[in-house]
Structure 1
Amino acid sequence: MLSNIRIVLVQTYHPGNIGASARAMKTMGLTDLVLVNPRQFPDPEASRLAAGAENLVDNARVVGSLSEAVSDCVQVVGASARLRSLPLPHFDEPDEMARELVEQAGHDPVALVFGRERFGLTNDEIRCCSHQVSIPANPDYGILNLAQAVQVLAHELFTAWRRRPDSGYRSPRPAQERQPTREQLGHFQAHLSRVMQSSGFITQPHARTEDQLESLFARAQPSRRELSLLRGLLASLERHLPDS
């Protein structure tokens, strides 16, 4: 279950923060580390600050985009110090986030995403996520560095894993009843956008309407079977549109 929980660091500036984050992960039983365009990696400073978690640093995967890092995940939570204008569902408390991710990780990969040291995640990167979470802190000085944020949320995940109801062996959930991956959901959203534009429902790409509909489906959490049904509906509508 814990092996299905991925920590993603986006464009980390200081290599030492990669090592310190790996150390924070290993203390909480997490092993899957993915780096999106780190400024400097590999680097001796990353290994030095890993302090016993060098194997996580050595095995970290480096990818070129956040979408690539989370394409196979069914739930992706972006850690953000501030709420964005994007209407994504937000976990008000980190323990709520942890319980949900641990539940989903019992069947499929999930991810917790951390942005750059100075300004976090961009709005486009937040769009790759299904949810957001913030760490409650002193309103007068709520600044955590990257490794501290990883440690706090990794501890919440480990605690949720330890406290999960012990129901013994659980048979795998049928594939069609599981949540779609971010890649599958992205294909659906692209299909929906194409149909909305070709039908004249919206006339500008990336309109606010699309953000709101993405949020709607994020809250609804359709299964793969339900998403397939929606794709079939869109395909049927598309065949009746002019020039389709």
Structure 2
Amino acid sequence: MSQSAAAHPASLLFDQVRFVLNETSHPGNVGSAARAIKTMGFGRLVLAAPRAGADVLCDPEAVALASGADDVLANAWVVPDLDTALQGVSWAVALSARSREYGPPNAEPRESAAIAVQHAGQGEAVAFVFGSERTGLSNDDVERCNALVHIPANPMYSSLNLSQAVQLIAYEVRMACLARERGEGSQVAAVAALPPGREGAAHDALATRDDVEGMLAHLERALVDLDFLDPENPKKLMTRLRRLFAKSHLEREEVNILRGIAKHVLERRIRR
């Protein structure tokens, strides 16, 4: 059941937030990230396809730099890919040092934290996704998320260590959680915030990221079948549709309607 802000203590909101490190190379960054989120009250660390290997949680450097956050490190999830890391997540934020021509809507760190807490307050899982130290997130990884955040660091020296970026975002989300617990509203951009009237709605009406991904795959097959989408020259059609649906905060029933349309298109072509 959805709970109101007054009945939703910050500790419950914290449990809805995941910090996902995608293809992280250095064990020290894993340990430092565990320490960073624990200092802000969070405990859900997810490692997607860590390049340091699945045994990174036991690496001496990771354990040393966790520095008291051994419990967060030991309980971290190690999963084979980003899709698995985001299973069950309704709203995901990609962190990137560079802007993208295509992809989800842009948001500021503080704004994204406030939006994430809105979703967490509905009982939904949310995630902040960080790329590898060397190459960051790929365009495909970014497109799997609902918003893109760039930390506005010094343009003359904007290099942030991975764990520093995690610390900064964890702080912003903590402040947003505590503000919600006090009943204080946050100003968030209309393009990304929950639409008016959605706050307090039953959270089981909202589509998860898994629901939307399944619908997009189904819709893509239907568009190919209609000859509307050329798989040999797709251009940016599916990317633009992803961006459209990322803004829409689809409900499960709406996703089911779109899948029903796609199913009917595919079945009609088979009958013909």
Query: Is the shorter-chain TM-score for this pair beyond 0.5, marking a shared fold?
Result: yes
3-state SS of 1:164 partner: helix
Residue 115 of structure 2 is aligned to residue 97 of structure 1: no
Aligned residue identity for 2:48: V
**Cα distance in structure 1, aligned partners of 2:257 and 2:111:** 30
Asked whether the equivalents of residues 103 and 142 of structure 2 are also in contact (C-alpha less than 8 Å), the reply is no
Q: Who is 2:162 aligned against? A: 146
Asked whether the equivalents of residues 103 and 143 of structure 2 are also in contact (C-alpha less than 8 Å), the reply is no
Residue identity over aligned pairs, in percent, reads 39
Q: Who is 1:20 aligned against? A: 32
Instruction: Flag structure 2 segments of 5+ consecutive residues without an equivalent.
Output: 1-12, 184-198
Cα drift, residue 242 of structure 1: 4.4
Q: Who is 1:38 aligned against? A: 50
Matching of residues 98-137 of structure 1 within 5 Å: 98-106=113-121, 107-137=123-153
Matching of residues 210-229 of structure 1 within 5 Å: 210-229=238-257
TM-score normalised to the size of structure 2? 0.83
Aligned residue identity for 2:237: T
Residue 93 of structure 2 is aligned to residue 77 of structure 1: yes
Residue 103 of structure 2 is aligned to residue 87 of structure 1: yes
Q: What root-mean-square deviation, in Å, do the aligned CA atoms of Structure 1 and Structure 2 show? A: 1.8
Change (3 A) 1:36 1:87: closer
Deviation sequence 1:198-236 (CA, Å, 0-9, x none): 001111255311111111111112111211122222223
Structure 1 counterpart of 2:219, from 182, 192, 202 = 192
Asked whether the equivalents of residues 197 and 203 of structure 1 are also in contact (C-alpha less than 8 Å), the reply is yes
**Cα distance in structure 1, aligned partners of 2:72 and 2:45:** 7
Cα drift, residue 175 of structure 1: 4.7
**Cα distance in structure 1, aligned partners of 2:235 and 2:15:** 37
TM-score normalised to the size of structure 1? 0.92
Q: Which moved more, 1:233-242 or 1:77-86?
A: 233-242
Asked whether the equivalents of residues 175 and 224 of structure 1 are also in contact (C-alpha less than 8 Å), the reply is no
Cα drift, residue 240 of structure 1: 2.2
**Cα distance in structure 2, aligned partners of 1:121 and 1:210:** 19
